[in-house]
Homo-oligomer: A and B are copies of this chain.
Amino acid sequence: MPKILVTRNVGPDASSILSTCGLEVIINPSDAEPTREWVLKHLADPEVLAACIMHSQGSDKVDKEFLDACNPNLKVISTFSVGYDHIDVKAANAKGIKVGHTPGVLSDAVADITAMLVLMTMRRVEEGIQLIKSGGWPLLPWAPFVMCGPSIGSPNLTIGFLGFGRISHETLKRLLAFTNTSAPPSVLYLSSRRRENQDQIDADFSEQFGVSVRRAEKEEIAEQSDVVIVLCDLNPSTKDLVNKEFLRTMKKTAVLVNCARGPVVNSEDLAEALEQGEIFGAGLDVITGEPNISPDHPLVKAKNCVVIPHMGSGDVDTRKKMAELCVRNGINGAKGEHLLAEVKV
């Protein structure tokens, strides 16, 4: 009987889809990461036609070892994530295996967290929380400008996006409810390349959002922005995009928020920039080396940096939608049908 391998508990709604799909379901019985051996053993089973995996660099990582372990009948690898930097898509495709992912459904949830981190970072909320936890609040001398930060409502704010896809659009929509209406912000964004009809694209964006939106080079974004938001794919061209040079070009009053993938921002360079006061603060939902981040990590210790454990898509509604899309991609692939969302590289 054809089988589908599922490496984590995907919740009751997606499980009910699985239970009526006509495939035998092999599901990791614990609500935690299975061993690599468990995954590889089941991949080798010639009846396994589909594998639903997680965004993990651990047992779910689709590298040579994983692909070598796949039985020749495997038709699809479906990841429970929009990002696929843990998957060697070309190598999978070369073996005739399609790759599915879950774009779109998590845009709102990640945009919520991104807008929240912008506010937390500008308003020094991490520093405020730690002030209380360390017993310092009673000793803080109250004065008008103590613990103040820059305002999201400042006139003529410049917001820079590195990557301007769906999540960036949703983030911008949210931030525009906070920004100055009489002296509105302008938006600069970096995209992979300048298009032939770039002026028309930018005019359309400007009309859609009701503020000036324009593609720019990274130097201009670093130099002009009061808020820099990282929401691009991780690929060789974006690794270390925010490095020493970028950070040094930023305003001392500007903040950086990364809700994309850790390695787009160089951690050592960021820690140094925060320490030296080259930027005002940073908010990170993602960080290189996650989840193996110790409390001694310089970015965790920096008082002008807030780090949260990759919670961007972590609301219940969103994870249900992701689970449903992930298993449907797996089921469709196993049956030789079109995936609802296929990674094309």
A residues with a Cβ closer than 8 A to B are 8-11, 30-33, 54, 56, 80, 108-109, 112-113, 115-116, 119-120, 122-126, 128-129, 131-135, 137-138, 140-154, 173-174, 176-178, 290-295, 300, 306-309, 311, 314-319, 322-323
**B151–A316 CB distance below 8 A:** yes
Can you report 30 A-B residue pairs in the complex whose CB atoms are below 8 A from each other? A11-B145, A30-B141, A32-B142, A33-B142, A109-B153, A112-B151, A112-B152, A112-B178, A113-B119, A116-B120, A123-B311, A124-B314, A128-B308, A129-B129, A129-B307, A132-B295, A132-B307, A134-B295, A137-B309, A138-B291, A138-B294, A142-B291, A144-B323, A146-B314, A150-B315, A150-B317, A152-B315, A153-B317, A153-B318, A176-B177
With contacts A54-B142, A176-B177, A315-B153 known, is A133 near B300, CB below 8 A?
Answer: yes
**A309–B134 CB distance below 8 A:** no
- Expressed in whole angstroms, the Cα–Cα distance for A288 and B268 within the complex equals 41
**A149–B316 CB distance below 8 A:** yes
Q: Which one of A54, A56, A295, A311 has the greatest number of beta carbons of chain B within 10 Å?
A: A311
**A151–B308 CB distance below 8 A:** no
A237 to chain B, nearest CB (A): 28
Q: Which residues of B contact A174 (CB under 8 A)?
A: 177-178
- Expressed in whole angstroms, the Cα–Cα distance for A294 and B137 within the complex equals 8
**A291–B128 CB distance below 8 A:** no
Copies in the complex: 2
- Expressed in whole angstroms, the Cα–Cα distance for A290 and B138 within the complex equals 8
- Expressed in whole angstroms, the Cα–Cα distance for A300 and B138 within the complex equals 14
**A143–B309 CB distance below 8 A:** no
Q: Which residues of B contact A323 (CB under 8 A)?
A: 144
**A314–B147 CB distance below 8 A:** yes
Q: Which residues of B contact A148 (CB under 8 A)?
A: 314-316, 319
**B33–A309 CB distance below 8 A:** no
**B112–A309 CB distance below 8 A:** no
- Expressed in whole angstroms, the Cα–Cα distance for A124 and B134 within the complex equals 21
**A113–B123 CB distance below 8 A:** yes
- Expressed in whole angstroms, the Cα–Cα distance for A275 and B175 within the complex equals 34
- Expressed in whole angstroms, the Cα–Cα distance for A112 and B118 within the complex equals 11
Residue of B whose beta carbon sits closest to that of A108 = B153
Q: Which one of A8, A125, A131, A293 has the greatest number of beta carbons of chain B within 10 Å?
A: A125
With contacts A116-B125, A177-B174 known, is A143 near B8, CB below 8 A?
Answer: yes
**B122–A119 CB distance below 8 A:** no
Q: Which 6 A-B pairs have the closest CB atoms?
A: A32-B141, A177-B177, A151-B315, A151-B317, A116-B119, A128-B308
- Expressed in whole angstroms, the Cα–Cα distance for A142 and B323 within the complex equals 14
A333 to chain B, nearest CB (A): 19
